[in-house]
Amino acid sequence: MSGSSVHETVLSWSAGHERVIGARADESVLSAAERADLALPFGCRTGACATCTGRVVDGRIEHSRPPRALKDRHLAAGYVLLCIAEPRSDCRIEVGSDVQTELVSNPWK
């Protein structure tokens, strides 16, 4: 390992359960979750589709590349794309389909 920091990352679902994983500063939250045998939804793995949307409620995350699926107002509200989001501190992130639903309205409803 390159000696990068490991940050405690709490993933929380609206149903009330949580899972704590260790995420290195040089890996995405999605990769850290997979390493911990935790399945999270994802699509493109490039920050283009928003399938893996989470919302940071505490801590600091940086995207490894521009998150094309998020607008400035989404970033200001704390939304992140877990496939390209790297932790820069211990953090708490809301995850799950409810978070994506908050971000993307369904035009067919």
- Each residue's pLDDT tens digit, 59-81: 999 999 999 999 999 999 999 99
What is the model's pTM?
0.90
Q: What are the residue ranges in the chain where pLDDT is below 70? A: 1-3, 105-109
Q: Are 66 and 39 in contact (CB under 8 A)?
A: no
How many whole angstroms separate alpha carbon 74 and alpha carbon 55? 9
- Is the domain 6-91 a CATH 3.10.20.30 member? yes
Q: Which residue has the tokens 């679902």?
A: 13
Q: Could you give the 3-state DSSP secondary structure of residue 101?
A: helix
